[in-house]
Amino acid sequence: MFHPRQGVALGLFIFLFVLVAVLSVASGRWWLPPLASVHGAAIDRLFTVTLLITGVVFALVHGLLAYSVWRFRGDPSRRAAHIREHRALELTWTVVPAIILTALIVSGGQLWLQIHRPPPADAFVVEVWGEQFKWGFRYPGADGQFGRTDPRLITDDNPFGIDLEDPAARDDIFFPAGQGELYLPVNRPVVVYLRAKDVLHSFFVPRLRVKQDLVPGMTTRFVFTATETGDYEIACAELCGLGHYTMRGLLTIATEEEVQRWLAEQLTVADLFF
């Protein structure tokens, strides 16, 4: 049997643990980085609401646990009490969480559909390729269409396997993995198509609240609109091998004029292969 002082010590420890956890979150030291995208505001709101709900439940449950450990600590003179079921209490702690979780799931589903909606007709289009342990980028060129690709055509000179016989490929602009930066316009919808050459990767830009997996054999995508110019780090948020920690890239958000000027200075497939 536990000594009564052990119950007091354990209850005090649980209380202090909850207090430190709440103060750590409330300090904002570990909070999200500054927001720089349109859809990110909705993500932050849902995250904050979820954290508040779960945080309150966490504090209440552990507070009750700390009180119970202290209040009902071991006493050799007291016999164990037998408590029968409490229908009203059981229904309450079943129905209330079910309602809250359903509301969060519906809100999250609506936000997911908004982020993954069909891209607008005027969206800026780019393709991102992930491979161990670098990022590659491809732009569709002046015609706005990507040329066909085929894994069987991949070579050192043609890392994306671009079909050079496809007329739409001639004005494509591509940067092999690790050899270029990603330039995108500010205040314009951007659709990013994601492809993986080897294993699972995850394209993650924290300030833009952008995170999407790259799956071999599939093309995934997301749509976002950046609201601030600047340089942002691209990270891989999926454990993709021993060199996963080195898989970084640079995303530059610039004005539309700067992006178009930069694209005009780049070599196309036609310049490289014909």
- Residues 234/135, Cβ–Cβ less than 8 Å: yes
- Measured CA to CA, the distance from residue 233 to residue 215 in angstroms comes to 21
Going from N- to C-terminal start, the domains of the chain cover 4-74+85-115, 124-273
- Residues 269/162, Cβ–Cβ less than 8 Å: yes
- Residues 169/162, Cβ–Cβ less than 8 Å: yes
Confidence of residue 73 (pLDDT cuts 50, 70, 90): confident
Of 17-21, 48-52, 63-67, 72-76, give the lowest mean pLDDT range.
72-76
At residue 240, the pLDDT reads 92
- For 269, other C-beta atoms within 10 Å of its C-beta total 23
Which residue in 256, 263, 261 sits closest to 225, CA to CA? 256
| pLDDT tens-digit map of 254-273 | 999 999 999 988 888 988 88
| pLDDT tens-digit map of 99-114 | 999 999 998 888 888 8
Model pTM above 0.85: no
Buried b (16+ CB within 10 A) or exposed e, 102-135: eeeeeeeeeeeeebeeebeeebbbbbbbbbbbbb
Confidence of residue 274 (pLDDT cuts 50, 70, 90): confident
Options 3.40.640.10, 2.60.40.420, 1.10.1040.10, 3.40.720.10; CATH of 124-273: 2.60.40.420
Residue, of 2 and 4, whose pLDDT is higher: 4
Which residue in 174, 185, 63 sits closest to 128, CA to CA? 174
At residue 239, the pLDDT reads 93
Of 37-41, 74-78, 119-123, 130-134, give the lowest mean pLDDT range.
74-78
Helices (H), 27-151: 40-71, 87-115
| pLDDT tens-digit map of 201-252 | 999 999 999 999 999 989 999 899 999 999 999 999 999 999 999 999 999 9
- Measured CA to CA, the distance from residue 147 to residue 158 in angstroms comes to 13
pLDDT for 90 beyond 90: no
